[in-house]
């Protein structure tokens, strides 16, 4: 192909603005409005990429999204593989290279695959490389190197200079496609009063009209209609915007590429959608039909009229339909030498032959292309004439057209049905679906397309309760539009490519047929037909028709596989939109988060993404030193902890108790106002779901706490119980108050002194305020709700107060506590302290597989209650307790480092031969759930879940440990899980 820029013409380009770019390192120039493909073609570039499998040189086939070959790797302004040159707007400084070539497009090492193609038929990788087995890793490396679509940008973490955003929009009607049918329908519906979005992937409206010479009757009508649409405030006209996906409930996704370097994803809600998506041209099947210089006839006219580019100098047209003849006529008019027009049909519309005769074109009816020659650029096309003679024509451009298929992807994505039309030799939507209009419906010619637009618009207007105005339809003369079928007969010798993107040949289809992969779905998986980045836009129907012929079926008996969203590739950045980084999952802050950060705390995100302090290192301290100091403060003096993320709910109502009895394993009805209890929730399968506390504030008011992570799930469970289990009949309401109430925990033997120092308004003695009690009080003059609960095993008060007042109290506590040795502690210290005390934690000991009995919480389960969630499943566990895991403590020798959390406890005895133990008995008997260095005990301690652990107290078990040499193990002694204050005197004190 030796393309060239015409001295004039090109609807989409601005010849006053030249742009410099580089392809394969070569400096080139194009114009504003060019695509990379049109600019390359204008500079005579014949080969733009190599093919995926055989690495054959490939040129431009089409002018839009249907091109199966023109994939390039963008190097600047952004690094991105698999960019389609035919739709990539040219920008100043653009740099790109051809894809699937190494080290260069011209000298590609992997082109050897083409020489060995006989050894690489469809599915060869299922049959080869099976032996010798030892060589598989080598084969795999080689295959992985060869596979893949393009290379990812060099340099991990390289930022993408493109801007992305995502937006929602609502409309009454979405019209996809701004050809004459789409424009007419959009205009009519807008006139009727509907809100209309008109989206088209081209930068200018007109559809296929853009591929015709400017200045025609239709152009004037388009300009007038567009001006009218643009004047209506309830119409959004979106050029360069492609609707890529269509889902239920009127949801469509569209990518707006109207601004280079800025991609916007529209999420459109449209109760009515009209698809004026046009048609896609199919190629012809003949030997070596993938040579550079072979281009769809419609693309030849697209390049001529959209970008003012002639795709070659000496052209042959090969077709089976009337519409493609236009390419020959218009090419001739701009100075391309048209050497022959070969039509498969023995007879065509007389208008065509008359016009060809008038232009002096050689016409061969009943003729077909049987071969193409030229590896880097087309040299000649070999025609088989009706007489049987062969004619070799020296040409650098072979325009081909095998007919047209409706672009029905969006129709299919919503479950729209299509069938093969024997007259049009293409897929058309079912008759009852008038929402597909224009050429996409199979309407032959502009008048028929406009007629279908009228019907579609009327149906939409009716659905919206609108009355369509009487709008004139532009008078467009009809043109010849006959077709003939593609067939397998008389095809010459050589490889015939059916799917150019995946390098699937006719022989591959025959092989698939012989091996029984006959359905379109199997054919697709076996040969990769339709699997390439073009998703088989120009090949899928060919594949289905050819397989039908191989099976002796009629063409319509097999349709192409279902087209799924998205229609064209979507950048991941556009999907993420404007929510990068932390805003994808927003961080929650407590009233004290600023304070923690100001103190230099190491912050974690945990639970429902709460930003909370892990620990507060002082100068020179690392994690372990800070932990030791914080834990000692809690055990020996007093500590304060920001526990605001704790899930909190108020439950009101005379029947709230019934709800709580149903959801918790413990009894709550016997709680008096002012008292509370530790409580466990189960799932239906009897496994622990969450734990927390339940307090009775007054006769009909309850306060429950949950873990931070499960707060939303517990809320859902509470509402589900109310609305589903109790069918909305309980007089009880649940209100989440996690954000309303901040939670400050004061813990340690001097906690009581600190509260007294802060002028606590209620008595704090054990008698006045016992363990698991709640009091309404004031502290430092602020109203608070005081709870006596403990997660550290120490004397502890949970102070709940309205969030806006929390920081003031926190600062007071810190201030007043200095004299008592107060230290703020983080979640790391909290974790150590609770492990020392043997308290469970959701996510560690509660792993979704344990029941409360496994965790030693039988005391928190009242099996004598009539019912509670999970009771039935728990009864089943009780009947077969053997083999259940049990919570145990694990001790390693003094001076040894802690066990690893998650390490497996092996199912072997200590006295077994270590080698046979590791080899034969690597089955797990449990795992380490939490492991810490205990400042209180000055040794490493751990909690674990161990099969039949209750019966294994005092035994030594082997625990795995990661080591440079692989799996290693170390001994640990099974002990009770409470390491500090087993009697609980401290927290009850």
Partner 1 sequence: MAEAVSWQAREGHLLCLRTRSRSWLDGVAPGLSSLQTSRFLRAGPALWMRLGPDEWWCWTSAGAACAARVRQSAGAQFHALLDISDAQQAFEIQGAVRDVLSQGCELDFERLPPDFAGRSRCAAFTVVICPQLGGTYLWVEASLARSLTQWLDQASRLRG
In the bound complex, what is the minimum distance in angstroms from residue 256's beta carbon to partner 1?
Answer: 12
Distance CA 268, CA 583 (A): 22
In the bound complex, what is the minimum distance in angstroms from residue 168's beta carbon to partner 1?
Answer: 4
In the bound complex, what is the minimum distance in angstroms from residue 269's beta carbon to partner 1?
Answer: 7
Q: Is 258 in the site for partner 1 (CB under 8 A)?
A: no
Q: Is 654 in the site for partner 1 (CB under 8 A)?
A: yes
Q: Is 577 in the site for partner 1 (CB under 8 A)?
A: yes
Among 588, 687, 837, 871, binds partner 1 (CB under 8 A): 588
Among 802, 821, 971, 976, binds partner 1 (CB under 8 A): 802
Q: Is 762 in the site for partner 1 (CB under 8 A)?
A: no
Nearest Cα to Cα of residue 762 among 744, 776, 780: 776
- Residue 566, preceding peptide bond in cis (omega within 30° of 0): yes
Asked if residue 620 lies in contact with residue 598, where contact means CB atoms within 8 angstroms, the answer is: no
Q: Is 702 in the site for partner 1 (CB under 8 A)?
A: no
For 906, other C-beta atoms within 10 Å of its C-beta total 21
In the bound complex, what is the minimum distance in angstroms from residue 814's beta carbon to partner 1?
Answer: 21
Distances (CA, A) of 866 to 155, 667, 742: 63, 10, 36
In the bound complex, what is the minimum distance in angstroms from residue 54's beta carbon to partner 1?
Answer: 44
In the chain, helix, strand, coil percent, each to 5?
Answer: 30, 30, 45
Scanning residues 511 to 570, which ones bind partner 1 (CB under 8 A)?
A: none
Q: Near partner 1 by CB under 8 A, which window of 309-317, 550-558, 584-592, 832-840? A: 584-592
SS3 sequence, 680-729? EEECCCCCEEEEEEEEEEECCEEEEEECCCCHHHHHHHHHHHHHHHCCCC
Q: Is 719 in the site for partner 1 (CB under 8 A)?
A: no
In the bound complex, what is the minimum distance in angstroms from residue 425's beta carbon to partner 1?
Answer: 42
In the bound complex, what is the minimum distance in angstroms from residue 260's beta carbon to partner 1?
Answer: 16
Scanning residues 56 to 95, which ones bind partner 1 (CB under 8 A)?
A: none
Q: Is 587 in the site for partner 1 (CB under 8 A)?
A: yes
Q: Is 923 in the site for partner 1 (CB under 8 A)?
A: no
For 592, other C-beta atoms within 10 Å of its C-beta total 25
The smaller minimum CB distance to partner 1, of residues 78 and 313, is found at 78
Distances (CA, A) of 237 to 88, 193, 204, 294: 21, 15, 10, 35
Distance linking the first and last C-alpha atoms of the chain: 92
Q: Is 578 in the site for partner 1 (CB under 8 A)?
A: yes
Q: Is 598 in the site for partner 1 (CB under 8 A)?
A: no
Among 652, 678, 726, 771, binds partner 1 (CB under 8 A): 652
In the bound complex, what is the minimum distance in angstroms from residue 697's beta carbon to partner 1?
Answer: 12
The smaller minimum CB distance to partner 1, of residues 397 and 774, is found at 774
Residue 611 bridge partners (DSSP): 589, 605
Burial grade of 792 (CB within 10 A; 0-12, 13-18, 19 or more): buried
DSSP letter at 837?
A: H
In the bound complex, what is the minimum distance in angstroms from residue 165's beta carbon to partner 1?
Answer: 5
In the bound complex, what is the minimum distance in angstroms from residue 237's beta carbon to partner 1?
Answer: 17
Q: Near partner 1 by CB under 8 A, which window of 29-37, 337-345, 454-462, 649-657? A: 649-657
Q: Are strands 390-394 and 279-281 parallel, antiparallel or unpaired?
A: unpaired
The smaller minimum CB distance to partner 1, of residues 420 and 741, is found at 741
For 161, other C-beta atoms within 10 Å of its C-beta total 10
Residue 951 bridge partners (DSSP): none
Distance CA 743, CA 644 (A): 4
In the bound complex, what is the minimum distance in angstroms from residue 644's beta carbon to partner 1?
Answer: 8
Nearest Cα to Cα of residue 548 among 512, 520, 516: 520
Structure tokens at 812: 């007071």
Q: Give helix 506-514 / helix 520-527 axis angle, nearest 10°.
A: 120
Q: Is 390 in the site for partner 1 (CB under 8 A)?
A: no
Per-residue exposure over 211-234, b if at least 16 CB sit within 10 Å of its own CB, e if not: bbeeeeebbebbeebbeebeebee
Scanning residues 723 to 752, which ones bind partner 1 (CB under 8 A)?
A: 731, 733, 735-741
In the bound complex, what is the minimum distance in angstroms from residue 76's beta carbon to partner 1?
Answer: 23
Q: Near partner 1 by CB under 8 A, which window of 576-584, 755-763, 847-855, 927-935? A: 576-584
Asked if residue 436 lies in contact with residue 273, where contact means CB atoms within 8 angstroms, the answer is: no
The smaller minimum CB distance to partner 1, of residues 656 and 957, is found at 656
In the bound complex, what is the minimum distance in angstroms from residue 568's beta carbon to partner 1?
Answer: 23
Asked if residue 678 lies in contact with residue 703, where contact means CB atoms within 8 angstroms, the answer is: no
Residue 50 bridge partners (DSSP): 57
The smaller minimum CB distance to partner 1, of residues 130 and 167, is found at 167
In the bound complex, what is the minimum distance in angstroms from residue 711's beta carbon to partner 1?
Answer: 11
Q: Is 952 in the site for partner 1 (CB under 8 A)?
A: no
Scanning residues 187 to 246, which ones bind partner 1 (CB under 8 A)?
A: 195
Q: Is 606 in the site for partner 1 (CB under 8 A)?
A: no
Among 653, 674, 821, 976, binds partner 1 (CB under 8 A): 653
Among 277, 590, 643, 823, binds partner 1 (CB under 8 A): 590
Distance CA 847, CA 689 (A): 9
Q: Is 109 in the site for partner 1 (CB under 8 A)?
A: no
In the bound complex, what is the minimum distance in angstroms from residue 173's beta carbon to partner 1?
Answer: 14
Q: Give helix 540-550 / helix 506-514 axis angle, nearest 10°.
A: 50
The answer for 110, left when phi > 0, alpha when psi is -120 to 50, beta otherwise, is alpha
Q: Is 865 in the site for partner 1 (CB under 8 A)?
A: no
Asked if residue 770 lies in contact with residue 788, where contact means CB atoms within 8 angstroms, the answer is: yes
Q: Near partner 1 by CB under 8 A, which window of 178-186, 523-531, 579-587, 863-871? A: 579-587
The smaller minimum CB distance to partner 1, of residues 739 and 875, is found at 739
Q: Is 257 in the site for partner 1 (CB under 8 A)?
A: no
Scanning residues 140 to 169, which ones bind partner 1 (CB under 8 A)?
A: 163, 165-169
Question: What is the greatest pairwise CA distance in the chain?
Answer: 115
Distance CA 172, CA 619 (A): 63
In the bound complex, what is the minimum distance in angstroms from residue 700's beta carbon to partner 1?
Answer: 9
Total of residues contacting partner 1 (CB under 8 A):
40
Scanning residues 609 to 648, which ones bind partner 1 (CB under 8 A)?
A: 610, 644
Structure tokens at 418: 């299509």
The smaller minimum CB distance to partner 1, of residues 22 and 715, is found at 715
Q: Is 819 in the site for partner 1 (CB under 8 A)?
A: no
The answer for 329, left when phi > 0, alpha when psi is -120 to 50, beta otherwise, is alpha
In which order are the strands placed within the sheet that holds 602-606? 588-589, 610-615, 602-606
The smaller minimum CB distance to partner 1, of residues 78 and 166, is found at 166
Q: Near partner 1 by CB under 8 A, which window of 442-450, 581-589, 792-800, 963-971? A: 581-589
Residue 832 CB-half CA count within 13 A: 28
The smaller minimum CB distance to partner 1, of residues 249 and 493, is found at 249
Q: Is 247 in the site for partner 1 (CB under 8 A)?
A: no
The smaller minimum CB distance to partner 1, of residues 783 and 881, is found at 783
In the bound complex, what is the minimum distance in angstroms from residue 166's beta carbon to partner 1?
Answer: 6
Asked if residue 28 lies in contact with residue 19, where contact means CB atoms within 8 angstroms, the answer is: no
For 456, other C-beta atoms within 10 Å of its C-beta total 28
Residue 974 bridge partners (DSSP): 890
Q: Is 716 in the site for partner 1 (CB under 8 A)?
A: no
Contact residues for partner 1, defined by CB under 8 A: 163, 165-170, 195, 267, 269, 577-579, 582-590, 610, 644, 650, 652-654, 731, 733, 735-741, 802-804
């Amino acid at each position: 192909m030796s393309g060239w820029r015409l001295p004039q013409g090109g609807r989409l380009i601005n010849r006053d603005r030249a742009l410099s770019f580089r392809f394969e390192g070569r400096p080139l120039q194009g114009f504003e409005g060019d695509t990379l493909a049109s600019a390359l073609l204008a500079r005579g570039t014949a080969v733009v990429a190599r093919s995926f499998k055989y690495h054959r040189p490939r040129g431009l086939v089409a002018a839009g999204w249907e091109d199966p070959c023109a994939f390039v790797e963008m190097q600047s302004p952004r690094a991105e593989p698999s960019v389609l040159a035919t739709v990539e707007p040219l920008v100043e400084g653009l740099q790109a290279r051809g894809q699937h070539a190494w080290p260069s497009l011209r000298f590609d090492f992997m082109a050897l695959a083409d020489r060995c193609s006989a050894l690489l038929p469809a599915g060869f990788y299922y049959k080869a490389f099976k032996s010798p087995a030892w060589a598989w890793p080598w084969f795999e490396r080689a295959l992985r190197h060869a596979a893949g679509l393009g290379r990812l940008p060099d340099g991990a973490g390289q930022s993408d200079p493109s801007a992305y955003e995502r937006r929602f929009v609502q409309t009454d009607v979405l019209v996809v496609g701004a050809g004459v049918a789409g424009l007419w329908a959009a205009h009519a519906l807008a006139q009727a009063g509907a809100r209309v979005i008109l989206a088209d992937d081209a930068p200018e409206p007109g559809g296929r009209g853009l591929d015709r010479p400017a200045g025609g009757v239709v152009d004037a009508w388009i300009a007038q209609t567009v001006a009218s649409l643009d004047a209506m405030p309830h119409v959004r006209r979106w050029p360069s915007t492609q609707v890529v996906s269509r889902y239920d409930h009127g949801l469509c996704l569209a990518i707006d590429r109207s601004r280079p370097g800025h991609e916007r994803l529209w999420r459109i809600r449209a109760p009515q959608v009209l698809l004026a998506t046009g048609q896609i041209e199919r190629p012809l099947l003949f030997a070596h039909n993938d040579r550079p210089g072979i281009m769809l006839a419609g693309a030849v006219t697209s390049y001529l009229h959209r970008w003012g580019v002639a795709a070659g100098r000496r052209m042959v047209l090969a077709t089976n339909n009337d519409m493609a003849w236009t390419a020959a006529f218009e090419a001739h008019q701009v100075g391309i030498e048209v050497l022959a027009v070969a039509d498969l049909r023995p007879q065509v519309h007389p208008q065509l032959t008359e016009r060809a005769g008038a232009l002096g074109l050689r016409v061969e009816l009943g003729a077909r292309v049987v071969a193409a020659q030229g590896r880097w650029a087309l040299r000649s096309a070999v025609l088989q004439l009706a007489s049987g003679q062969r004619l070799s024509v020296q040409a650098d451009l072979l325009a081909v057209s095998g007919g047209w298929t409706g672009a029905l992807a969006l129709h299919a994505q919503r479950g729209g049905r299509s069938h093969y039309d024997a007259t049009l030799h293409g897929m058309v939507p079912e008759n009852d679906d008038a929402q597909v209009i224009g050429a996409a419906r199979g309407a032959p010619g502009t008048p028929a397309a406009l007629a279908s637009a009228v019907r579609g618009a009327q149906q939409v207007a009716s659905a919206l309760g609108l009355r369509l105005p009487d709008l004139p339809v532009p008078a467009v003369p009809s043109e010849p539009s006959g077709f003939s079928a593609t067939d397998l007969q008389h095809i010459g010798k050589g490889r015939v490519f059916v799917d150019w993107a995946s390098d699937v040949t006719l022989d591959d289809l025959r092989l698939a047929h012989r091996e029984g992969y006959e359905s379109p779905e199997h054919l697709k998986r076996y040969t990769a037909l339709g699997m390439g980045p073009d998703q088989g836009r120009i090949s899928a129907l060919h594949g289905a028709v050819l397989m039908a012929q191989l099976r002796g079926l009629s063409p319509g008996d097999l349709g192409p596989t279902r087209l799924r969203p998205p229609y064209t590739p979507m950048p991941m950045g556009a999907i993420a939109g404007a929510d990068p980084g932390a805003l994808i999952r927003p961080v929650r802050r407590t009233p004290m988060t600023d304070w923690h950060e100001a103190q230099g705390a190491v912050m974690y995100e945990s639970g429902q993404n709460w930003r909370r302090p892990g620990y507060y290192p002082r100068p020179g301290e690392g994690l372990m030193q800070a932990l030791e100091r914080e834990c000692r403060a809690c055990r020996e003096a007093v500590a304060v902890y920001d526990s605001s993320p704790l899930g909190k709910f108020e439950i009101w109502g005379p029947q709230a108790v019934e709800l709580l009895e149903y959801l918790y394993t413990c009894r709550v009805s016997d709680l008096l106002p002012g008292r509370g209890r530790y409580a466990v929730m189960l799932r239906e399968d009897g496994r622990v779901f969450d734990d927390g506390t339940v307090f009775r504030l007054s006769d009909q008011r309850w306060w429950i706490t949950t873990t931070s992570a499960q707060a939303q799930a517990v809320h859902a469970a509470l509402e589900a119980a109310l609305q589903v289990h109790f069918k909305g009949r309980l007089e009880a309401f649940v209100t989440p108050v996690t954000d309303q109430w901040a939670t400050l925990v004061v813990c340690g033997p001097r906690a009581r002194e600190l509260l007294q120092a802060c002028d606590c308004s209620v008595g704090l003695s054990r008698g006045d305020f016992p363990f698991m009690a709640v009091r309404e009080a004031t502290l430092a003059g602020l109203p608070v709700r005081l709870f006596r609960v403990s997660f550290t095993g120490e004397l502890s008060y949970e102070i709940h107060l309205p969030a806006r007042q929390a920081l003031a109290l926190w600062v007071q506590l810190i201030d007043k506590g200095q004299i008592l040795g107060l230290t703020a502690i983080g979640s790391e210290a909290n974790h150590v302290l609770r492990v020392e005390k043997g308290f469970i934690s959701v996510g560690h000991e509660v792993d979704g597989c344990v029941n409360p009995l496994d965790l030693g919480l039988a005391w928190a389960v009242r099996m004598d209650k009539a019912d509670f969630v999970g009771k039935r499943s728990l009864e089943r566990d009780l009947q077969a307790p053997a083999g259940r895991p049990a919570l145990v403590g694990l001790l390693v020798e003094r001076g040894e480092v802690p066990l690893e959390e998650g390490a497996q406890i092996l199912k072997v005895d200590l006295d077994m031969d270590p080698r046979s133990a590791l080899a034969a008995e690597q089955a797990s008997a449990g795992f380490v759930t939490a492991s810490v260095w205990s400042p209180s005990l000055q040794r490493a301690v751990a909690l674990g879940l161990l099969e039949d652990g209750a019966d294994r107290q005092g035994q030594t078990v082997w625990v795995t440990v990661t080591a440079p040499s692989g799996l290693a193990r170390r001994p640990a002694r099974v002990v009770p899980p409470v390491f500090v204050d087993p009697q609980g005197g401290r927290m009850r004190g």
